[in-house]
Amino acid sequence: MYDTLVIGAGPAGMTAALYAARSNLKVGLLEQGAPGGQMNNTADIENYPGFDLISGPELSMKMFDPLEKLGVEHLYGIVTTIQDLGQSKLVKTMDGEFEAKTVILATGAKHRLLQVPGEDTYASRGVSYCAVCDGAFFRDQDLLVVGGGDSAVEEALFLTRFAKSVTIVHRRDQLRAQKLLQDRALANEKINFIWDSVVKEIKGNDVKVTSVDIENVKTGQVTNHAFAGVFIYIGLDPVSQMVADLQMTDDNGWIPTDDKMATKVPGIFAIGDVRQKDLRQITTAVGDGATAGISAYHYLTEHN
């Protein structure tokens, strides 16, 4: 029986585990992959205080390494459901189950699919959702990035390190990304823009992507453009299916909390990207994590 079981070892979960362990709780940190979450897919982080620039994997390890010394148990498992047993919570994974007095959900968010013909067919054969993982395979080639938010623009900038050219296709004529990233992209000679346009189909041969059909949403005109790779960054969906039965999410699956990170189910807290909030960043994820670690401690003090 854990005092607190943190699900997800992204920045939110690792910080929650840190604060809960420093409150002398028995803490398990349950993760389905490598610790770090979305940070592992980020080459350069420039907006985490204390570092001018740090790579995502390096920041991940800096957050993870101290946890073992504090007694946090690193557990492996893919969580499928969470049951509220009142005094405790039962967390079921693909291979077994864990019981805890409190649960901190830090399962983050995952990339959205474009859902156009060819996306599935050419997944890992030219279609990618991770520039850091796949960018280097496209040296001196022409690439398409889909989306207009921070991810699309930041990853387009990263891809210019390898590619001959990077074209950003966006469904409007204004980017959503933060101003600093916009200015960098607009000034980058390798980056081109196709405005007011959406991808209709990703085409290729037996082996890989060769071109993309793009529709101008204002004129309806569809044109075909040669690209060797398509990087899709059109936003995120919450990873909250494991609490579907507890009816704690909003209509889109994000989890509302109070300012203590408490959900509507007593003893279950939600933090980081999976939480209903405006700003999804590493800084806000760690802030949520700190609050939840302490809130779990107060909850246990009040209930034991």
The catalytic residue among 44, 65, 133, 258 is 133
Site for ligand NAP in 241-300 (CB under 6 A): 280-281
Establish whether 133 is a catalytic residue.
yes
Q: Which residues contact 24 (CB under 8 A, 6 or more apart)?
A: none
CB of 239 to ligand NAP, least distance (A): 14
Query: Please, which residue, 5 or 43, has the CB nearer to ligand NAP?
Result: 43
Cα–Cα distance for residue pair 63/19, rounded to 1 Å:
12
149 binds, among ligand FAD, ligand NAP, none (CB under 5 to 8 A by kind): ligand NAP
Burial category of 145 from C-beta neighbours within 10 Å (exposed 0-12, middle 13-18, buried 19 and up): buried
134 counts as catalytic:
yes
Say if CB 53 and CB 33 are below 8 A apart: no
Choice from 150, 254, 267, 289 touching ligand NAP (CB under 6 A): 150
Site track 47-76 with ligand NAP (rule: CB under 6 A), x = hit: x-----------------------------
Of 113, 112, 118, whose CA–CA distance to 200 is shortest?
A: 118
Q: Reduced to 3 DSSP states, what percent helix, strand and coil does the chain have, rounded to the nearest 5?
A: 30, 30, 40
Query: Which of 4, 42, 60, 128 lies at the binding interface for ligand FAD (CB under 6 A)?
Result: 42
151 binds ligand NAP, rule: CB under 6 A: yes
User: H helices of 31-83, where?
Assistant: 56-69
Which residue's CB atom is positioned nearest to ligand NAP? 149
Stretch that binds ligand NAP, among 100-108, 118-126, 202-210, 230-238 (CB under 6 A): 230-238
**Other beta carbons within 10 Å of 34:** 12
Question: Counting contacts by CB under 6 A, is residue 178 touching ligand FAD?
Answer: no
Whether 274 contacts 257, CB under 8 Å: no
DSSP 8-state class, residue 125: T
Applying CB under 6 A, which of residues 152, 163, 166, 194 lies at the interface with ligand NAP? Answer: 152
How far the first Cα of the chain sits from its last, in Å, is 14
Q: Applying CB under 6 A, which residues contact ligand NAP?
A: 47, 146-152, 154, 171-172, 176, 198, 233-236, 280-281
